[in-house]
Amino acid sequence: MTAQRTYRYYDFVMAAFVCVLLCSNLIGAAKAAQINLPIFGEVSFSAGVLFFPISYIFGDILTEVYGYGRDRRVVWAGFGALAFAGVMAAVVVALPPVPDDFNRTYQSHVEGVFGNTWRIVAGSMIAFWCGSFANSFVMAKMKIWSSGKRLWQRTIGSTLVGEAVDSSLFYFIAFYGIWPDAQVAAIALAQYVLKTSWEVVMTPVTYRIVAFLKRAEDEDWYDTNTNFTPFRVSV
């Protein structure tokens, strides 16, 4: 019965999720940034960490309001978008440039930015797929265990699990053998801490969005009879 319902904002949340996922993985993921923080000193991290955690916030919101099944559809949509981006990047890099000075120079820039995209996309897809489903599963189960109370525990707890899976897989797949091993480990750890910290900081915003969507959609899904297999797109 509920599976046939339509929602006013579900498609917008899905589109925003896929947009954030693509941009954070392709624009920022390959750049290792470094800033000086009080107490911690020099901290290295992926530039994409500033925006990628928003996708996990969307995942929490989707699971909390619409349920695991509808979040699973969004995860598969993001997975497909990343796959297409990887194929497109490979084709664009492989195409021979026009033989003039501008295009030869531009080709080197394109290769520098997107030449490693196949590894970044492979790492992103595997890490995102595993981490997102871990996040959604923990979120859904904790909602049942807590009878829908203490949303902050669910959002933070699920992110701690999901981001641990994501960060450990992504950096090893995408940058092992390219960056020094110590740098890979340091940036993966820094990314994990920063991502989970983002979740804590954004908790008040998550509360407001969840409350708004529950009222607007007249929905507050509990995954009591849900099939949690990730290998399907139906609700």
CA distance 154 to 136: 10
Mean pLDDT, the chain, as a whole number? 89
Q: Work out the percent of the chain whose per-residue pLDDT is above 90.
A: 58
Give dist(CA 132, CA 211) in Å, integer. 22
d(CA 64, CA 206): 10
Q: What is the CA radius of gyration of the chain?
A: 19
Please report the pLDDT score of residue 30 as a whole number. 65
d(CA 211, CA 207): 6
* 124-161 pLDDT tens trace: 889 999 999 999 999 999 999 999 999 999 999 999 99
> Which of 180, 184, 82 lies closest to 126 in space, CA to CA?
82
Q: What are the tens digits of pLDDT across the range 88-117?
A: 888 999 999 999 999 999 999 888 777 766
201: helix, strand or coil: helix
How far is the C-alpha of 11 from the C-alpha of 74, rounded, in Å? 9
Q: What percent of the chain has pLDDT over 70?
A: 95
Please name each of the domains of the chain with its CATH number. Answer: 2-217 (1.10.1760)
- Please check the confidence at residue 2 and state whether its pLDDT lies above 50: no
